[in-house]
């Protein structure tokens, strides 16, 4: 986790921008501006809307990346938003990761993969690439623990070999996460605490110079008390904290997930940053696509800067 | 689940062929035969090996699909094997799904996705497509339950709208699945039993004419006793049973996962069918690519036919 921790130190900003575009988050004139280009490139009319959105997502992401690259350490594209568009979306996901990496950002691929050992080994190519070629351009990926260590070990090995990281789901930010994660076990712990202990163990062989292993944990901002307890329970596990902003988590909520040195966690915000333009009085449906993208960029930079400042006050205490 | 059940009845064969190609499972002369074609199409030399494998995977899959389409009801491509090759692999995954669907097969996309509600809604486009366009060509997908119903409901809604299905991981076939799934809960049940009860509930609104809901369960062939108990515990939940053959499960092991009418489950075999050519004395490294593909097809058909006959004896008792 050293590379991420150093990027956070350099920017003095423990936050990551979630690049999770949806049709509602991209100004409609930006999407419309690609109609001609796409019409000429697709094989059939019916795939044009998805292809057009895919191109628009990339331009949208690029505007945001350019706007925040000097003030944030990392971005976290959520692959589901791209998968929704089919293979054309996957292309744009990898293009987004590549572009962000080229701008010096740590790229956290939110893919939440997980499977049995031989299959997890295939997924681990997200980190290891193929024979030196790296089609995914991710520095880390998120992984699901439901299948146990068989599904984790191949990712850990790939992370070790490629100087990359993984983040395992422990306590997710969504309301129904409790249905499984909060169940009481016979030994007095809860399921997510047991998973937390497994994650701490899975990382024990890869602790870096800053004291954190390559196996991080996903801990939702919406669970401040549990997050604080997990911080103590998992001393060598770095946290990825989603759920800030639009999902309800505040800087005060996440403060307990950091260690005494103000390290140990990175907080994600997606809609609060990439959708900040929607709250701007300067937006008008009559704006040009270029002007709309410029507004997206300005608002994203302002929102990312505000989030950084709020986290600095709450965390670097 | 009606469409799958009817396809099984029509073939009298409760088995599904796992299309999980790896470099080791495709005859090397088949891969080599695409070297020239690929060299002319890729942007850089370093991506050529992955692109070449991707093309070879498709031809390999097509040979197998053609060989088994009249004797099996379904195929199950494992997307991880394709994701390992980057976006070119994803293209081949969708081409494989499309080709299988065109041959009349039910296509079960083994994608094991799972995320919070808004993100699961994006993943659910695997089933719903976009505005009538269906880039993924899947009839069902596998889903991970760790995030609770938020992550499941969007898939169920998409399945209902598109006459498709999902299969939720309950008791997976791999050795370390016990680390989480077999934990004892304070109420005396085990984690996987609790998940089983959730899955039965999640499906309660979509029970079809054959008595099974659109929300199936993944139950590994390597756990025959638990599978038998789950069959009784989940009367409206259809089972996808991986782990047959190469992973150790036998026809006798899976028999208890079927209901009294010989329905209620479909058993997957991947390597045992698509890699059957590797045990053939007829294979020679000097064979042409076409001859090697013909052998792959013959061996796959024989293995699929043997599996069908073994399951008929064990299940249609």
Predicted local distance difference test score (pLDDT) of residue A42: 86
Q: How far is B154 from chain A (nearest CA, A)?
A: 13
Residue B261, burial from CB neighbour count under 10 angstroms (0-12, 13-18, 19+): exposed
Of residues A135, A175, A179, nearest to B86 (C-beta):
A135
The interface predicted TM-score (ipTM) is 0.96
Chain-centroid distance of CA B97 in Å reads 11
Interatomic CA distance for residues A191 and A178, integer angstroms: 9
The CATH code of the domain at A2-315 is 3.20.20.70
Residue B228 has a pLDDT of 97
Is the confidence at residue B1, as pLDDT, over 80?
yes
8 Å CB contact of A83 and B191: no
Helix (H) or strand (E) holding B165: strand B165-171
Q: B39 pLDDT band (50/70/90 cuts)?
A: confident
pLDDT band of residue A280 (cuts 50, 70, 90) is very high
pLDDT at A132: 86
What is the tens place of the pLDDT at every residue in A184-200? 999 999 999 999 999 99
Which alpha helices (H) appear in chain A, and where do they start and end?
Answer: 2-11, 28-32, 35-39, 48-68, 79-83, 87-102, 117-123, 125-128, 153-162, 178-181, 191-202, 224-233, 251-255, 271-274, 289-315
What average pLDDT does the segment B199-208 reach? 97
pLDDT at B22: 97
What gap in Å lies between CA A242 and CA A314, rounded to an integer? 16
Q: Are A130 and A162 in contact (CB under 8 A)?
A: no
The predicted structure's pLDDT at residue A43: 83
**Measured between CA atoms, how close is A78 to chain B, in angstroms?**
8
Q: Do A187 and B187 touch (CB under 8 A)?
A: no
Check if A25 contacts B (Cβ < 8 Å): no
Do A241 and A266 contact (CB within 8 A), yes or no? yes
- What is the C-alpha to C-alpha distance for residues A141 and A150, in angstroms, rounded to an integer? 16
Average pLDDT score over residue span A70-74: 98
Where is B89: in which H helix or E strand? Answer: helix B87-102
DSSP reduced 3-state for B235: coil
Instruction: Please name the residue that has the structure tokens 């050795």.
Output: B175
Domain ranges across chain B: 2-315
| Residues of B whose CB is below 8 A from A123 | 80, 83-84
d(CA A61, CA A7): 20
- Calculate how close chain A gets to B120, using CA atoms only, in Å: 7
Is pLDDT above 90 for A40?
Answer: no
Chain B partners within 8 Å of A150 (Cβ) = 174-177
**Average pLDDT, integer, range B223-241:** 97
- Tell me the three state secondary structure of residue B52: helix
**Looking up tokens 């103000």, which residue turns up?**
A262
Q: Which helix (H) or strand (E) holds A77?
A: strand A74-77
Question: Rounded mean pLDDT of chain B?
Answer: 96
Q: Which residues of B are catalytic?
A: 112
The rounded distance, in Å, linking the Cα atoms of A149 and B79 is 20
**Residue position matching structure tokens 């079809």:** B208
Q: Does A50 touch chain B (CB under 8 A)?
A: yes
Of the pLDDT bands very low, low, confident and very high (cuts 50, 70, 90), residue A316 is: confident
Whether B213 has a pLDDT exceeding 90, the answer reads yes
Which residues of chain A make contact with B78, given a CB cutoff of 8 A? 115, 119, 122
pLDDT average, residue stretch A276-305: 98
Question: Which two tokens mark A92?
Answer: 């744009």
Residue B135: list chain A partners with CB under 8 A.
47, 50, 85-88
Q: What is the mean pLDDT of residues A58-79?
A: 98
The Cα of B96 is separated from the nearest Cα of chain A by a number of Å equal to: 13
Name which of A43-52, A122-131, A231-240, B268-277 the model is least confident about.
Answer: A43-52
Q: pLDDT value at position A156?
A: 98
- Going by C-alpha positions, the residue among B31, B81, B66 that lies closest to residue B51 is B31
A206 vs B: CB within 8 A? no
pLDDT for residue B110 is more than 80: yes
- Return the minimum-mean-pLDDT range out of A6-10, B203-207, B214-218, B247-251: B247-251
Q: Which residues pair with B196 in a beta bridge?
A: none
Least CB–CB distance from A185: residue in B22, B117, B184: B184
**pLDDT for res B310:** 95
Q: Note whether B142 contacts A: Cβ–Cβ < 8 A.
A: no
- Are the Cβ atoms of B149 and A191 closer than 8 angstroms? no
Q: Quote the pLDDT of residue A41.
A: 85
Q: Is residue B317 predicted with pLDDT exceeding 80?
A: no
Are the CB atoms for A180 and A170 separated by under 8 Å? no
For residue A317, pLDDT over 80 is answered with: no
Tens-digit pLDDT profile for residues A92-102: 999 999 999 99
What average pLDDT does the segment B163-180 reach? 95
What distance, in Å, lies between the first and last C-alpha atoms of chain A? 23
State the pLDDT at residue A5.
98
In the structure, what pLDDT confidence band is assigned to residue B132 with cuts at 50, 70 and 90?
A: confident
Q: What is the pLDDT of residue B247?
A: 80
For B239, the enclosing helix (H) or strand (E) is strand B239-241
Could A47 and B133 be called an inter-chain contact, meaning their C-beta atoms sit closer than 8 Å?
Answer: yes
Q: Give the count of alpha carbons within 13 A of B234, CB side only.
A: 38
Q: Is there a contact between B112 and B169 (Cβ–Cβ < 8 Å)? A: yes
């Amino acid at each position: 986790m050293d590379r991420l921790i150093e990027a956070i130190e350099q920017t003095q900003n423990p936050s990551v921008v979630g690049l999770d575009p949806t049709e509602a988050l991209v100004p409609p004139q930006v999407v419309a501006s690609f109609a001609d280009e796409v019409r000429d490139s697709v094989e059939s009319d019916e795939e044009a809307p998805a292809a057009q959105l895919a191109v628009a997502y990339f331009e949208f992401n690029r505007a945001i990346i350019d706007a925040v690259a000097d003030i944030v350490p990392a971005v976290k594209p959520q692959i589901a938003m791209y998968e929704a568009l089919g293979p054309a979306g996957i292309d744009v996901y990898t293009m987004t990761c590549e572009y962000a990496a080229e701008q010096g950002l740590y790229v956290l691929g939110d893919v939440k993969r997980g499977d049995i050992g031989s299959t997890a080994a295939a997924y681990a190519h997200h980190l290891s690439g193929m024979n030196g070629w790296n089609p995914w351009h991710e520095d880390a990926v998120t992984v699901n623990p439901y299948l146990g260590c068989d599904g984790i070990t191949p990712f850990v090995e790939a992370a070790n070999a490629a100087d990359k990281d993984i983040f395992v789901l422990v306590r997710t930010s969504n309301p129904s996460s409790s249905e499984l994660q909060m169940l009481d076990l016979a030994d007095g712990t809860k399921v997510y605490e047991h998973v937390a202990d497994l994650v701490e163990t899975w990382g024990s062989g890869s602790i870096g110079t800053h004291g954190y292993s390559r196996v991080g944990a996903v801990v939702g901002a919406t669970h401040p008390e549990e997050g604080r307890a997990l911080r103590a329970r998992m001393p060598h596990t770095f946290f990825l904290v989603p759920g800030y902003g639009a999902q309800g988590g505040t800087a005060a909520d996440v403060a307990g997930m950091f260690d005494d040195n103000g390290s140990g966690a990175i907080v994600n915000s997606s809609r609060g940053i990439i959708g900040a333009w929607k709250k701007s009085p300067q937006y008008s449906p009559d704006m040009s696509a270029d002007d709309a993208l410029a507004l997206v960029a300005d608002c994203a930079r302002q929102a990312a800067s505000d989030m950084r400042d709020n986290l600095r006050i709450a965390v670097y205490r």
